[in-house]
């Protein structure tokens, strides 16, 4: 039985080596199509082996990472929150600050959020993740954030032509302009 296992393993290795050698023997004929010196099955095996080793194939993005908070504690940033965090510019990450807690479910269990020193990333199931920060976040928090009268965000903050910063929510908008002590909440 042991000898049979060794022969099977040897045969498998030989077949894989043949497939790799076959991949190296591919050449273009004058018509531009590939021709191979091996059989159709070795051609398929070599193609599969070459694809598996191709450096152009990207590895799946991690679904969680650890980011240190100001206090040095490592917090887990994961899933859609991590995907959004990775799309933020360096300036936005600076505005957001470091995490100070792990991801939590919203009170109505329809999404998740993660608090950072100066902002929050919030995800509602089936919707994009939004970034709310600064004075706009403070005003939104004052009216109970996603569970209050404004509801969940429906956009990231934008800068209007007049210099006003604006975030939209399910039931209104919050605006703020540099120099203003507080942001303005407008219900729709």
Sheet strand arrangement including 184-187: 158-159, 165-169, 172-176, 184-187
Which string of b and e fits 124-153 if b means at least 16 CB within 10 Å?
beeeebbbbbbbbbebbeebebbeeebbbb
pLDDT of residue 1: 43
Residues, the chain, total? 188
Report pLDDT digits (tens) over 57-71. Answer: 555 666 899 999 999
What single-letter DSSP state applies at residue 173? E
The model scores a pTM over 0.75:
no
Report pLDDT digits (tens) over 112-152. Answer: 999 999 999 999 999 999 999 999 999 999 999 999 999 99
Which of the pair, 179 or 7, is modelled with greater confidence? 179
Of 101, 158, 155, the C-alpha closest to 127 is 155
Query: What residue segments make up the domains of the chain, in order of their start?
Result: 2-53, 64-187
pLDDT of residue 62: 66
């Amino acid at each position: 039985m042991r000898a049979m296992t060794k022969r099977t393993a040897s045969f498998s290795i030989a077949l894989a080596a043949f497939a790799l050698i076959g991949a190296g023997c591919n050449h273009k004929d004058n018509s531009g199509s590939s021709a191979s010196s091996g059989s159709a099955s070795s051609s398929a095996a070599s193609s599969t082996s070459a694809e598996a080793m191709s450096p152009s194939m990207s590895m799946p993005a991690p679904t969680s990472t650890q980011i240190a908070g100001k206090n040095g504690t490592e917090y887990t940033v994961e899933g859609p929150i991590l995907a959004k965090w990775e799309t933020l510019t360096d300036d936005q990450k600076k505005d957001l600050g470091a995490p100070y807690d792990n991801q939590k479910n919203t009170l109505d269990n329809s999404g998740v959020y993660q608090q950072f020193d100066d902002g929050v990333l919030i995800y509602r199931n089936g919707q994009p993740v939004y970034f709310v920060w600064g004075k706009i976040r403070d005003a939104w928090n004052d009216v109970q954030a996603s569970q209050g009268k404004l509801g969940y965000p429906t956009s990231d903050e934008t800068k209007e032509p007049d210099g006003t910063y604006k975030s939209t929510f399910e039931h209104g908008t919050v605006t703020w302009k540099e120099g203003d002590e507080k942001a303005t909440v407008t219900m729709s």
